[in-house]
Amino acid sequence: MTEPFDRDVVVVGGGPAGASAGVFLARGGLNVTVLDRGRSSIARCAHLENFLGFPAGIDVGTFSDLTHDHLRRAGCTVVPDLVESVERWNPSEGGSEDLDADSDRLDDSGTPGADAGFRVTLQDGEPVTARRVVAATRYGGEYLRGLDDDAMFETREHHGETTEHFDREYADRDGTTPIGGLYVATPSEADRQAITAAARGARVGKRVVADARIDDGWWPAAAEGVDWTRREAELDDEWTDRERWREWFDTHHADAPADPGSDRFARVREAAVDDALSAYVDAEDIESRAAAGQRAVAERLDPSAVVDAHDADALLDALDDGAIAEYVAEGTSDVDREDVSETVGGDAR
């Protein structure tokens, strides 16, 4: 989908909102670059307290490292650069063009113009072109100047001084804006807490994926995908049959704006069935994913954070003795393996 653009989507900002959007975009099959200079507002936080999954909170540096790891694992390219400007760019016209907001508003289906995209100018690197841009920087949107200034920025008076600020209500709840292909995750009313900002980013990412599918011939009711996994064992014999999924799709999309006998309908149906079936994973895959998830977190643990014997004991207690024995035994002879297992199982430190 990237031709004639460098990327399907460029996300400006790698904080909770931008990273969350990037993960959903990449998992939706889009070619994504996340631009993050490390100036996320979360960097000003002394300790992240209210993000689910971290009962004692988590230091901001480790959290940022984990989110960037997640982006890369999902398939995003993370570039540490600052965005200076975003302008409309039309490859069919050989570059930038003047498009006012009114002439390029989203149509009823949420589809932007066929050719228009964006050119993102960076502080250090070469400019990047993209079909869509997600703005996810909490502190202002100066780099968006020139796109739709009259509506995008609002004037405020404070103690006799007049200043301009990005209008937090400029974008809809799903991030869509009057400018086709431009989405805003932050600044918005959702970015007051890291967890609500991440939720906003997920909502925006899902909207962008749906719009990309609509561009590709899907209709809105079919384009709204669900990104989750389920146990393959939950599928009974009826639903292991692909034909049963086709029948389900035909029933639920009987009023689709496409002839059920058309190539378009068949293509969308097969892609939707692929999506549905790929959500089911077998027991071996579940175990493998669980191990990979725990390993990814463990790789970011800082041994220097263990400050006393109590902390050390708690860390060791959390580890599986059998796994430790197996790991240690890999570097020993067959004769020594039994001794290693007995030592670990005996709670030797």
Q: pLDDT per residue over 283-297, tens digit each?
A: 999 999 999 998 888
pLDDT digits (tens, 9 = 90+) for 93-115: 655 544 444 334 333 433 344 56
Whole-angstrom distance, CA of residue 201 vs CA of residue 132: 15
Whole-angstrom distance, CA of residue 253 vs CA of residue 17: 33
CA 307 to chain centre: 35
Report yes or no: 32 and 11 within 8 Å, Cβ to Cβ: yes
Structure tokens at 186: 């932050």
- Per DSSP (E only), the strands in 160-281 are 161-166, 182-186, 230-231, 280-281
Q: Which residue has the higher pLDDT, 305 or 162?
A: 162
The whole-model pTM stands at 0.82
Determine the residue type at 316: L
Q: Write down all domains in the chain, each with its CATH number in brackets.
A: 7-215 (3.50.50.60), 221-281 (no CATH), 302-345 (no CATH)
Q: Which residue has the higher pLDDT, 349 or 78?
A: 78
- For helices 16-27 and 60-74, angle between their N-to-C axes, nearest 10 degrees: 20
pLDDT digits (tens, 9 = 90+) for 325-347: 676 676 655 545 455 445 444 44
Q: Say what the pLDDT of residue 190 is.
A: 72
